[in-house]
A and B are shown apart, each in its own frame.
Chain A
Amino acid sequence: MDEQEKRVGMLSGGQVTRREVLKKGLIGAAGLTVLPAVIAACSSSATPSPVATITPTTPPAATPTPAGPAVTPAPTTPGAPTFIGPLTGQLTVGSNHSDASEVAGMASIDAAFKTATGLDPKVNKVDHNTFQTQINSYLGATPDDVFTWFSGFRMRFFASKGLATAIDDVWANVSSNYTAGFANAVVGDDKKVYGIPVDYYPWCVFYRKSFFTAKGYTVPATWTDFLALCTKMQSDGITPVAFGDDGGWPAMGWFDILNLRQNGYDFHVGLMTGANKWTDSKVTDVLNLWAKVVPFYLHGYAGLTWQKACDSLIQQKSGMFLLGLFMTGEVATVDAANKTTVLADIDFFPFPFMGNSFDAEKALDAPIDIWMASSKSTTLQADLTNAKAYLEFWSKGSTQVLMYKSQPGFIPTATDADKSSYDVLTAKAVSIVSQAQKITQFLDRDTRPDFAGTNGVGSFFLTFLNNPSQDLAKFQKSVQDFWDKLPVYTGA
């Protein structure tokens, strides 16, 4: 499952979601860095790899450049006919944007779309979690014309089953508005484009600035520093690492980053797609590294939601917290409830480096959300132009900023998005992602959904965490056995 929807799980501590709250947070500090080459890191590898989520080959084109309005030109490629214009007929839209702030964002975008084209899309809004659980039957039966989904393997999985419509013609119009990293994330196994990236957010290590200052801690740059800091915090009576693994998915973030740091992007992607085996000794290395952090985890983590773990960071009972940027939503929720300003005190850093050849990759998880066109929709043939216009409309920075204004947890993906409205944390997140040479999507988006299922790898990780000193060879074999028995994947 995915990390986003879990936050609204039935029991998750704060029912209020990160999204609606963030905006109450520290927006305003604005006036930020514009990063002309957002995620420019990822430059132009000519042929997108079918397995890789993002396969950048050259160093960042630009380091963050301060200030100024967006520099990128309008997205439309000369010659390619735009789909946006006066439209007639209908358009059905399947949306997993069920949180109040996202509903508001969708409403303003659909209103803008109507202004631009005269067409009022019919939105079929489904609870985020339910949308995901039912995605198979939804896409296989009578889906809406266009729908919200995730990039990476998860997109390719359904595209390869013929449940999505290729939109290369739309992409031809808008590709200039995206860096190669995003471009690669929406390419299917058949090299066709199946999605329009609309937002993303990185996974980093969060901490409280004032707490670090008061205790004399410094941000750890290396794994050795990190472990030393953990030991120090523990001796100070602080839980070094906040961690809540209820539902089993937050542990995936830990495995991802440790594997990326230790074995590099290529091995990680190979592992996610089945090219590499879970019985590989490189996986053993990662598990051994992981075992060193486990003693520093928050007590009772397996039964705690990530919100509870976040609370322990807020209360300065824990020192550091690895999670997606959306954790700021929980902080804002708590701030609102307690009338505090902890959010302004939150900062983050990229996960520490191992001191090996993969340091230069500066890899991290930064899941990308996309819009896709379905294939089984009974109305799609009649609505095809409308659907393509809608997808093209979403590729505009101006559209994505409308969502960002309602939901600052979603960083726009379009190069021409107006960065002047970004808050401090967003700007920093953009900067970290833009320096990354390699970006992954999060384990449950990078690997096949049946492997990532609730009783799949998430449960396996918990059995490891419960007893890190167990027979790792046996453990790894049980994971690989599970993989080997999954139905044959017919893609790529």
Chain B
Amino acid sequence: MSELEPQALAPAPASAGAGASVSTKRPRHYSLLNRRDKTLLAIMVGVPLAIFVTLIWAMTLVSIVWSFTDWNGTDPMHFVGLDNYTQLFTTYPFFWPAVAHNVMWLLFFICIATPIGILLAVLLDRPLRGSWIYQSIFFTPVVLSLAVVGFIWELQYNAQDGFINSVLMAFNVVKPNSTIDFIGDPSLNIWAVLVAASWRHIGYIMVLYLAGLKSVDPSLREAAAIDGANERQTFIHVVFPVMAPINVVIVVVTVIESLRAFDIAYILNQGINGLELLSTLIVNTMLSEASLIGFGSAIAVVLLVVSLVPIVLYLTRVLRSEDI
């Protein structure tokens, strides 16, 4: 693809003048675009489209094809029908927990983390002394590298000498041999990870929403105030509806973040023992030394199907609103 890009860019400056002279000489087909324009358009649309098709759609289709094989990356590929899916849905014990954890992730983000981020944004949008300090504090986790985030939470959660357990021990809430095993207890660790992930997500949502709030016309608030609305009413009936485009972005971001949930779970324990996610399963089975490409592709296809649900909902909504 790369060798095509210069062509796409190079003719651009010349096209305008040349195009005008050509079109006057050839009146046969009336068109807003002359041949050069069309070529240029074809390249400008075609190149990105080709990249998109090869890197996204072709890859997706290849994954789908692989998911029906037992390929391991080196040996000849055999088609095994639905075997990989049967195994996933019936005997492989880490699949359904992974699906459940992804769903929990989504619900937790939508119901708890995102609303908290919005709430923080609304609070910080008010004239507040040192507002930027709070913003920085809440936004810091988003800037930190994932390795650092994982390390920070490891220090908080460790069952032997983690910060939380040390504090609880100091107040005699837990005893040294019955500390809370945030990372190792498979019924608890997903919640611990959700808290850690929310710590980042809240800051992200806050900044996005704050940017949106800054762009709301102040006269709307004034009008609402004159009409006697209190702050809560103003937000619910005036600001929130005006923020509709941002709200859609927030929802999309939240869903995307939930579906691509991976990093903190992977850093804490490689996504095993209660921290299974579809993404960590894919990485652990496909990309590791295990190299179960067929089996991993089947998991990836499941993740694709799951991802399609919000994508389709979003697209239908967007397309419908364009029709109006």
Contact = CB atoms under 8 A, between A and B. Distances in A.
Interface in A478-492: 478, 481-482, 485-488, 490
B284 interface: yes
B272 A450 contact: no
B287 to A, nearest CB: 7
Contacts of A163: 74
Interface in B277-306: 280-281, 284-285, 287-292, 294-295
B83 interface: yes
Q: Which 4 A-B pairs have the closest CB atoms?
A: A300-B159, A303-B183, A453-B290, A303-B184
Given A137-B73, A481-B87, A459 B158 contact: no
Given A133-B289, A302-B183, A303-B182, A485 B91 contact: yes
B269 interface: yes
B292 A486 contact: yes
Contacts of A453: 284-285, 288-290, 292
A2 to B, nearest CB: 9
Contact of A239 (B70, B177, B271, B287): B177
Interface of A: 1, 10-11, 132-133, 135-137, 140, 161, 163, 239, 245-248, 298-304, 308, 311-312, 449-456, 458-460, 462-463, 466, 478, 481-482, 485-488, 490
A488 B87 contact: no
B288 A454 contact: yes
A246 B189 CA distance: 13
29 contacts: A10-B147, A10-B151, A11-B268, A135-B289, A136-B74, A140-B74, A163-B74, A248-B273, A299-B176, A299-B177, A299-B178, A300-B160, A300-B185, A301-B184, A302-B181, A302-B183, A302-B269, A304-B158, A308-B158, A308-B161, A449-B291, A450-B289, A452-B290, A454-B270, A458-B272, A459-B94, A481-B91, A488-B75, A490-B75
Contact of A10 (B267, B271, B291): B267
Most buried by B among A302, A303, A459, A460: A303
A140 B183 CA distance: 37
B73 A449 contact: no
A449 B289 contact: yes
Given A450-B291, A487-B292, A299 B75 contact: no
A131 B267 CA distance: 18
Most buried by A among B71, B72, B157, B289: B289
A482 B181 contact: no
Contacts of A450: 72, 285, 289-292
B117 interface: no
Nearest to A450: B290
Given A453-B284, A454-B290, A302 B184 contact: yes
B91 A482 contact: yes
B62 to A, nearest CB: 16
A10 B150 contact: yes
Contacts of A11: 150-151, 154, 267-268
Interface in B156-207: 157-161, 176-179, 181-186, 189
Contacts of A140: 73-74
Contacts of A463: 93, 186, 273
Given A163-B74, A455-B276, A485 B186 contact: no
Nearest to B281: A455
